Amino acid sequence: MNSSVRNFLRSQAHPLKPVVMVGKEGMNDRVVVAMNEALTSHELVKVKFQAFKDDVRPLSEELAQKTQSDLVSIIGFIATFYRASEAHLIHIPKELFKKGE
């Protein structure tokens, strides 16, 4: 994912509220299942870290790997993820893909 696409997705995610929460139990299977369901239905999902605030980056990268999604951004304790679905709810302009080449 190039920076133009990442910036577009970041702007699309701005008004969204966090859908998945990572609490004191950490990154368990329930978080991964909830994240997969949210990505399937929304494509662009915010995750709020209510605990493990010192490990936001590594936990976000692990969650992206487990859900086969892209980590778009981390701002404070909120991480944004993107995974395209079959419904293609978010239409990324094709010219953004060409900017990074």
Residue 9's CATH number: 3.30.110.60
| Better-scored residue on pLDDT, 92 or 43 | 43
On whether residue 101 sits in a domain, the answer given is: no
**Residue 100 covered by a domain:** no
Residue for token pair 């951004």: 73
User: What's the structural domain count of the chain?
Assistant: 1
How many H-runs (helices) and E-runs (strands) does the chain carry?
4, 4
Give bridge partners of residue 70 from the DSSP assignment.
82
Other CB atoms within a 10 A radius of the CB of residue 11 amount to 9
- Residues making up the chain, counted from first to last: 101
Give pLDDT tens digits for 20-78: 999 998 889 999 999 999 999 999 999 999 988 899 999 999 999 999 999 999 999 99
Residue 82's pLDDT is 96
For residue 80, being part of any structural domain is answered with yes
Residues in contact with 82: Cβ distance below 8 Å, sequence separation at least 6, in sequence order = 1, 9, 39, 43, 44, 45, 69, 70, 72, 90
Residue 72 maps to a domain: yes
Query: Is residue 91, in this structure, part of any structural domain at all?
Result: no
